[in-house]
């Protein structure tokens, strides 16, 4: 059956996201092994994270602090007492045969995150945020006998994670995208994770179901795994929505199952029938005490919390007179916001600084495929350029040329100006001399101008600018020519 737009439009998607985030600790959650990414396979392991008999886990205090910080930033209630639980399942990358997670008594619950789509703001509920350990990694390729064997790297076993489960409050792929973007931004700001999806520091699964518009009851949901890039999240959800509508329109039923996003094929594929909590035989972890976060510790963590994106946006509007749009762009990442604040502290004018960062700097970075952290133009170097423009040494047009050279060479503005003799000509005597020369070699045009052909004025200005390679101060050239011709 051919699926029409009208058929899809008759349904509403109900989407919830489960996001796993690797916490930025130096060591693992229950042992002292390093969490460093990219080390040789199985070099960061010990009896604890390999689950050898007789070994006992010891909880990493820093992991708890980072998880609590994330919980507070997402407006969650932090439970004074929570408990670790064993989630039992067999998989080759899980040497203990169970994962230490949290189940019926999680670290924190009932939060929310505000997202914006198409100019409308909406609160997305957060069901829970809990601590758990990561599993290892199966390596299916890259070895001479990879066609016959699977290799295992246990370096990732025991790396601390938080799992952040949203309420099924998302109604479209665009909202899911906006939620994940806002979540990543908050986590980046509070420095609990590097949120690098390519390294697997941020992973996303989605629960998707469809219901006819106007219906209150949720449909049967499928879980889509492996949505490990922002680009694929929206595509995978769009695919899954159409697939489910197709099944329902043909009178079929949605199976409760786990599906995998197949990137190469551009579709979701059945992976296994959905597990239920009871399949995991959860029980309290007997080797760890209940986790206690008392009011004093909670306050210490709250007091050390960096400024959140929404607060920073509001402050930029208030303190620097930026528009909401400018504040949005300049707070997109913490690194960019810090860069702007370093510039604006010393720059002659906040609005000009904001414009230059948004147009010239971000444009050049995008073209070069660079991040703000790798910008060849430092905040101090940009401040110097803005000052040279404010004091008239450079015209706006010249400043852009100088900026381009600063970006490609990494050299400061003054050096480039001196080497290329680019300073703006503001000496009135010199400008008058140049203007007189231009008028002297164009007697015909001068006569025509005086007879009323006023459009020729632009021609004279152009000739002076050309003679000075654009370095004459345009306002002074205008005034001087008017005086000489008048
Ligand atoms: Zn270890």
| pLDDT tens digits for range 225-249 | 878 888 889 999 999 999 999 999 9
Helix or strand (DSSP H, E) at 441:
helix 428-441
Q: What is the rounded CA–CA span in Å between residue 221 and residue 329?
A: 36
Helix (H) or strand (E) holding 242: helix 230-249
The Å distance, Cα 58 to ligand 1 centre, comes to: 10
Q: How many angstroms separate the CA atoms of 130 and 108, rounded?
A: 6
Q: Tell me how far the alpha carbon of residue 306 lies from the centroid of ligand 1, in angstroms.
A: 30
Determine the pLDDT at residue 409: 93
pLDDT at site 298: 97
Predicted confidence at residue 135, as pLDDT, reads 96
Distance 159 CA to ligand 1 centre (A): 9
Q: Is residue 328 within 8 Å of residue 357, measured between CB atoms?
A: no
CA gap 330, 332 in Å, rounded: 6
Q: Ligand 1 center to residue 50 CA distance, Å?
A: 7
Q: 48 C-alpha to center of ligand 1: Å?
A: 5
Pick the closest to residue 226 from 258, 255, 182 (CA basis): 258
CA of 437 to the centre of ligand 1 (A): 81
How far does residue 339's CA lie from ligand 1's centre (Å)? 38
152 phi/psi in degrees, rounded to 5: -125, 135
- 37 C-alpha to ligand 1 centroid (Å): 14
CA of 23 to the centre of ligand 1 (A): 16
Tell me what pLDDT residue 274 has.
67
Q: How far is the CA of 150 from the centre of ligand 1 (A)?
A: 22
**Which residues crowd ion ligand 1, with CB under 5 Å?**
31, 33, 46, 48-49
Instruction: Convert 442-465 into a string of H (helix), E (strand) and C (coil).
Output: CHHHHHHHHCCCHHHHHHHHHHHH
What spacing in Å lies between the alpha carbon of 25 and ligand 1's midpoint?
13
CA distances from 1 to 219, 222, 247, 255 (A): 21, 22, 10, 19
Chain-centroid distance, C-alpha 41: 29
Strand bridging mode 11-22 / 202-212? antiparallel
The pLDDT tens digits for 187-217 are 999 999 999 888 889 999 999 999 999 988 9
Predicted TM-score (pTM) of the model is 0.82
Using CB atoms within 10 A of its CB, is residue 474 exposed (0-12), middle (13-18) or buried (19+)?
Answer: middle
Question: In which residue ranges of the chain is pLDDT below 70?
Answer: 1, 274-275, 277
Q: Nearest 5 degrees, angle CA 261-CA 213-CA 270?
A: 20
> 141 C-alpha vs ligand 1 centroid, how far in Å?
25
Q: Are strands 257-262 and 222-225 parallel, antiparallel or unpaired?
A: parallel
Dihedrals φ, ψ of 86, to 5°?
Answer: -90, 125
Instruction: Quickly tell me which residue has 């040497």 as its tokens.
Output: 95
Backbone angles phi, psi at 123, to 5 degrees: -90, 125
Span from the CA of 279 to the centroid of ligand 1 (angstroms): 27
Compute the distance from residue 24 Cα to the ligand 1 centre, in Å. Answer: 16
Can you tell me which residue has the tokens 């970075």? 365
User: 435 near 484, Cβ under 8 Å?
Assistant: yes
Are residues 301 and 76 in contact, defined by beta-carbon separation less than 8 angstroms?
A: no
State the distance from the centre of ligand 1 to the C-alpha of 154, rounded, in angstroms.
Answer: 9
* Burial of 286 per CB tally in 10 Å (0-12, 13-18, 19+): exposed
* 22 Cα: distance to centroid of ligand 1 (angstroms): 16
Is residue 15 within 8 A of residue 207, CB to CB? The reply is yes
Residue 195 main-chain phi, psi, to 5 deg: 55, 30
Taking the C-alpha atoms of residue 483 and residue 361, their distance in angstroms, rounded to an integer, is: 39
What's the gap between Cα 335 and its chain centre? 10
């Amino acid at each position: 059956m051919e699926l029409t737009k009208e058929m899809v439009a008759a349904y509403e998607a109900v989407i919830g996201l489960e996001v796993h985030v690797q916490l930025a600790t130096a060591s693992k959650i229950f042992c002292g092994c390093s969490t460093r990414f990219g080390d040789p396979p199985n070099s960061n392991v010990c009896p604890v994270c390999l689950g050898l008999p007789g070994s006992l886990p010891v909880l990493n205090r820093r992991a708890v602090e980072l998880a609590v910080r994330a919980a507070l930033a997402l407006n969650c209630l932090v439970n004074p007492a929570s408990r670790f639980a064993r989630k039992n399942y067999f998989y080759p990358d899980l040497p203990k045969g169970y994962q230490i997670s949290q189940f019926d008594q999680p670290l924190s619950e009932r939060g929310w995150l505000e997202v914006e789509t198409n100019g409308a703001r909406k609160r997305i509920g957060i069901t829970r945020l809990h601590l758990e350990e990561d599993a290892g990694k199966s390596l299916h390729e890259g070895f001479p006998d990879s066609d016959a064997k699977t290799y295992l790297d246990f370096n990732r076993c025991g790396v601390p994670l938080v799992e952040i489960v949203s309420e099924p409050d998302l109604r479209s792929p665009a909202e899911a995208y906006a939620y994940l973007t806002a979540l990543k931004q908050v986590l980046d700001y509070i420095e609990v994770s590097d949120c690098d999806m390519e390294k697997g520091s941020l992973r996303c699964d989605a629960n998707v179901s469809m219901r006819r518009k106007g219906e209150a009851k949720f449909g049967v949901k499928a879980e889509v795994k492996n949505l490990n890039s922002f680009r694929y999240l929206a595509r995978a959800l769009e695919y899954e929505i159409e697939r489910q509508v197709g099944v329902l329109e043909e009178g079929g039923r949605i199976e409760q199952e786990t599906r995998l996003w197949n990137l190469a094929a551009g579709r979701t594929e059945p992976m296994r029938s959905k597990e239920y909590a009871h399949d995991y035989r959860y029980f309290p972890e007997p080797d760890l005490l209940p986790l206690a976060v008392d009011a004093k510790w909670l306050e210490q963590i709250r007091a050390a919390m960096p400024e959140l994106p929404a607060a920073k946006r509001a402050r930029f509007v208030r303190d620097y007179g930026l528009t909401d749009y400018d504040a949005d762009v300049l707070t997109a990442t913490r690194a960019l916001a810090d860069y702007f604040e370093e510039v604006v502290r010393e720059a002659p004018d906040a609005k000009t600084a904001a414009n230059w960062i948004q147009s010239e700097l971000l444009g050049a970075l995008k073209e070069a495929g660079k991040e703000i952290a790798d910008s060849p133009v430092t905040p101090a170097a940009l401040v110097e350029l803005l000052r040279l423009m404010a004091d008239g040494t450079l015209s706006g047009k010249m400043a852009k040329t100088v900026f381009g050279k600063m970006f490609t060479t990494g050299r400061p503005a003054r050096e480039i100006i001196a080497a290329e003799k680019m300073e703006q000509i503001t000496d009135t005597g010199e400008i008058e001399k140049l203007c007189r020369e231009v008028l002297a070699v164009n007697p015909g045009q001068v006569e025509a101008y005086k007879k009323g052909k006023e459009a020729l004025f632009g021609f004279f200005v152009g000739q002076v600018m050309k003679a000075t390679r654009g370095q004459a101060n345009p306002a002074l050239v205008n005034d001087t020519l008017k005086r000489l011709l008048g």
